[in-house]
Amino acid sequence: MPAPPPRPDAARDVALPLRIVWAAVLGGAAAALGTMGWLALARTVPAPLADRAEGAFYVVALIGVVGTAGAFALVHRMERRLGRAGSAAEAERTVRLHTVAALAAAEVPALAGALAAFLTGDLLALAFGAPLFAFAAFLWPSDDRVGAWLGARHR
């Protein structure tokens, strides 16, 4: 017997709290990037790791690749698990867990870039915040997108 379709309002019930969490995470990351960038610019003494800026940049680049790849891997894992979800409640838990974890993984490079910019004075490290905002724009938990994810268990 096929699984019953999700409730009509299930997508909205799952998506709204996710949007609140995602907006808070994005706002926090934007504040961290802006604050650390401003502090790096306003500094009156040399940055403590200014002589290691190049090495710090490459470390943050590696963190960026791993964090962004991990975020997309978590979304892929979620989509595979949704196909095997036995109930609507399990599908909702899967969406909540994986989307928040994926956003957290995508946020790590932004925070590492903010910290590197502050410690090295190299403002180019702030660019590692861009993948977080691109990831969020690409996978924003709208009602339609969450509804499609929840409906994936019926395919």
- The 10s digit of each residue's pLDDT in 17-55 is 999 999 999 999 999 999 999 999 998 888 999 999 999
Long-range CB contacts (< 8 A, 24+ apart) of 70-79?
A: 70/102, 70/105, 71/102, 71/103, 71/105, 71/106, 71/135, 72/102, 72/135, 74/98, 74/101, 74/102, 74/105, 75/99, 75/102, 75/139, 78/102, 78/149, 79/149, 79/152
Q: Fill in the amino acid letter for 9.
A: D
Q: What tens digit of pLDDT does each residue of 95-141 get?
A: 999 999 999 999 999 999 999 999 999 999 999 999 999 999 999 99
For residues 98 and 70, the answer to whether their CB atoms sit within 8 Å is no
Specify the DSSP class assigned to residue 50: G
